[in-house]
Structure 1
Amino acid sequence: MATMHDVARLARVSVSTVSYVLTGTRPISQATRDKVLAAMAELDYQPNAMARGLASRRSRIVGLLMPMDERGLGATETAFVTGAAAAASAAGYHLVLSPVGVGDLDDLRRLASQRMLDGAVLMEVQVEDGRVAALQEAGVPLVLIGRTGDTTGLAYVDIDFEQTVRQAVEHLVGLGHRRIVYVNHSAATIAAGYGPAVRTRDAFVAAMSGHGLEPVMIPAEDSAAGGRAALTAALDQAPDLTAVLAMNENAIFGILGELAVRGLAVPHDVSVVSMVTSPQVAELATPALTAMTSPGSALGRMAVEALLRRLEDGGDDDHQRLLPCALEIRGSTGPAPRPTAAAGGGDTVPTRSGPPGT
């Protein structure tokens, strides 16, 4: 294993110069820095993170702060974490996952006061999020994955929910669907101001209204049972629905199950689009789900890179970037059912499959 002395010998500089390049405690010319970095790369030298931290008064640890419950992390959420971890590791930092929610401000302040973290990336952001002010008051550099209502002076990366929802609705409308129901997160989550739930709700209303269609939104608990209940409520409110747009990964399989129990085939009777979903989750369903695929890994990486620029350059760059989800068409969407004349009147209703066996 190469040592600092090996690097100094190959670069033809002193050991202290190698140390200064690593810690940034003294200015070094760009030419000398380039020689040292080239020697490190050639020798595959891995600096001791603890030693660097002591010299620079940094821990070289960044925190990824996000609330978690007993369900843990799903495949879509995990992509954010792996993207962030890879970016931190590539820069010689360690990423620590801490389950700090909006209601854990005292824990967050204690964590910040211990100075264990050089900076933090905040996930699951609410429109009004007390964690932001708590970290700012403690002087902890931070970047958000998500957005608060007022983003003045904040660095963030987030999904472009407006474009994502608009594209999903356009896909369904292009297939002839006119009665589309949106299944969101729970009513409590929306009321608490969870950014994605609030923004997709508003974007759905705008997208449907833009096509002259009535927006129908149903909240759902984050579970299969919640999905079944949401589908029942959707059919009660819009019995002529032909498409479901859902941004609730834990509820989507309950929605599919309830459709099957009612003898409604996907996509022949009802098309389904899953919002902000990983390909791994989309492929679990039968048929595989048409999805607005989450850019989670890219957003995790971008957030950490923006944070490290703040730490390394000492700047106050208000990095703000939105990425839309990508539409990936699979087997769960198809043309809207063909309307047929209703008995005893001139209205039309969609033609649907009957219960299994009919």
Structure 2
Amino acid sequence: MNIGEIAKRAGVSRSTVSYALSGKRSVSDETRQKIQRVIDELGYRPNASARALANGRTSTIGLVFPPAGNHYTGMQLDFIGSVVEAAAAYDYDVLLSPSGVDSDRSFQRLLAERRVDGVILMEIRLRDDRIDHLAAEDFPAICIGRTAHPDGHWWVGLDHTALAAACVRHLADLGHRRIALVNRPEHLLRAGYESAHRGLDGFTQAAAERGLGVRTYCCGDDAPSGQACLERILRDDPATTALVTLNEAALGGLYRGLAVAGRHVPRDFSVTGVVASRWAETMTPQLTAADVPAERMGRLAVELLVERFGRPGAAPRHHLLAPPVSLRASTGPARHETSRDA
């Protein structure tokens, strides 16, 4: 069913039906009601392309996310789900578009063909060409994270610097003196992923303030990589008594590696990090962590984007979140055994 058939049955022109649907020009109440009766009888719903041509809006938000590789982390899935749910509350659909080294053509098509009214960008890099391109196109966008120079952008971010530092201070207060950092994969650090770099900065700064002995490691986003990383940590420095992780996908492997090494958590070894609460609470023992509010971040991102739609030219706004460390069962006082300090 199309506009031409509606016009024929209502006894009006195609343009009159178009005006009645889009509201671009006034149509008499009598004519509008006649058109609406036909629409109701036929069960007509204009397709997305027709709506976009009629009113310049697609009623769709683009969510630009990193290519999955083998899987997405629980944190990423929570965020994606929250964006979809929040968008639905504003009567927006969500179009997912991968963007990475090998898939930026999808991102370019999203903009060139104006398939969406605006975009939310995940996994921001400290220097991110996508944001510069969006700004040049004057295309509404919200970043999840901050570039090295965030002024002038709309964004929702997690203060990874402060959160990693808070984890280090918590361990130091428990008497731990030799601590490791388990970061995201090396290729993400090389690509300039904001969360990996800011978390590393917070970790090293807090460790220096407390005079701690530390080592930092990159780790793949999976359990086997986590176990291999833990084995390397203990091989490099058997006296290590705690770690901070920015890599929730590796957590299961880190715990498994400790069990294989005979290190009881938290009696012999403490584990903490920046992790989504739902994931932290599934660990045994439950993980002491700076809980990532992924669902809240998704909701705030959608709210900011809808605000941009309604206030063109408004000054950029942002939200920087820094949740406290939730104390659970994976951290405890340090035990400095002579055999491990030797």
Sort the TM-score into its range (normalised by shorter chain).
Answer: 0.7 to 0.9
Matches for 1:305-324 after TM superposition, within 5 Å: 305-324=303-322
The amino acid of 2:146's aligned partner reads R
Distance 1:133 1:296 in 2: 25
Distance 2:327 2:224 in 1: 26
Matches within 5 A, 1:139-178: 139-178=138-177
Structure-2 change in CA distance of 1:202 and 1:164 (3 Å): same
The answer (yes or no) to whether the contact 1:109–1:135 under 8 Å persists in 2 is no
Residue of structure 2 equivalent to 1:184: 183
**What SS class does the counterpart of residue 215 from structure 1 fall into?**
strand
Distance in 2 between residues matched to 1:341 and 1:218, nearest whole Å = 25
* Cα distance in 2, alignment partners of residues 192 and 317 from structure 1: 29
What's the counterpart of residue 341 of structure 2? 349
Q: Tell me the equivalent position of 2:202.
A: 203
Contact 1:105 1:134 in 2 (8 A): no
Which of 270, 287, 292 aligns to 2:285? It is 287
Larger mean CA deviation between 156-165 and 50-59 belongs to: 50-59
Q: 1:72 to 1:219 in 2, by over 3 A?
A: closer
TM alignment of 1:226-265, pairs within 5 A: 226-265=225-264
C-alpha deviations, 1:15-55, integer Å up to 9, x for none? xxxx99x97869xxxxxxxxxxxxxxxxxxxx989586554
> CA-to-partner distance for each residue in 1:191-229, whole Å, 9 max, x for gaps?
111111111111111011111223321111222221122
Residue 326 of structure 1 pairs with residue 324 of structure 2: yes
On the 8 A contact 1:295/1:324 being kept in 2, the answer is: no
SS at match of 1:199: helix
Check 1:177–1:25 CA distance in 2 against 1; reply closer, same or farther (3 A cut). farther
Distance 1:325-1:92 versus aligned 2 partners, 3 A rule: same
Aligned residue for 2:74? 75
Structure 1 residues 267 and 321, CA, compared in 2 at 3 Å: closer, same or farther? Answer: same
Contact 1:181-1:218 at 8 Å conserved across structures:
yes
| Distance across 1 between alignment mates of 2:334 and 2:46 | 61
* 3-state SS, counterpart of residue 232 of structure 1: helix
The Cα offsets for residues 268-289 of structure 1, whole Å up to 9 and x where unpaired, read as: 10011132x2232223222121
CA distance in 1, matches of 2:101, 2:314: 25
Whether the 8 Å CA contact 1:209–1:215 is kept in 2: the answer is no
Change (3 A) 1:340 1:286: closer
Structure 2 residue identity aligned to 1:149? A
Q: Measure, in 2, the Cα distance between the counterparts of 1:102 and 1:155.
A: 24
CA distance 1:93–1:178, shift in 2 (3 Å) = same
Task: Give the whole-Å Cα distance in 2 for the aligned partners of 1:340 and 1:310.
Answer: 58
Calculate the TM-score normalised by the size of structure 2. 0.82
SS in 2 for 1:251: helix
Task: State the AA in 2 paired with 1:279.
Answer: S
Tell me which moved more, 315-324 or 255-264: 315-324
Q: Which runs of 5+ in 1 are unaligned?
A: 1-18, 27-46, 343-347, 351-358
Q: Alignment RMSD, CA only?
A: 2.6
Tell me if structure 2 keeps the 8 A contact 1:309–1:315.
no
CA distance in 2, matches of 1:69, 1:91: 27
- For 1:313 and 1:162, the matched residues in 2 are separated by 32
Distance 2:312 2:22 in 1: 14
Contact 2:167 2:273 survives alignment (8 Å): no
Query: Do the aligned partners of residues 203 and 25 (structure 1) sit closer, same or farther apart at CA in structure 2, a change above 3 Å counting?
Result: farther
Aligned partners of 2:302 and 2:249: how far apart in 1? 27
Q: Per-residue displacement from partner, 1:96-120 (whole Å, max 9, x unpaired)?
A: 2212225433332222111111000
Which TM-score applies when normalising by structure 1? 0.78
Shift of 1:320: 2.2
Structure 1: which amino acid aligns with 2:341?
V
Offset at residue 164 of structure 1 (A):
0.8
Whole-angstrom distance in 1 between the partners of 2:89 and 2:23 = 18
Partner of 2:296: 298
Listed as ranges, the gaps of 5+ residues in structure 2 are 1-18, 26-44
Q: In the alignment, is the contact (CA less than 8 A) between 2:144 and 2:156 conserved in 1?
A: yes
The amino acid of 1:64's aligned partner reads L
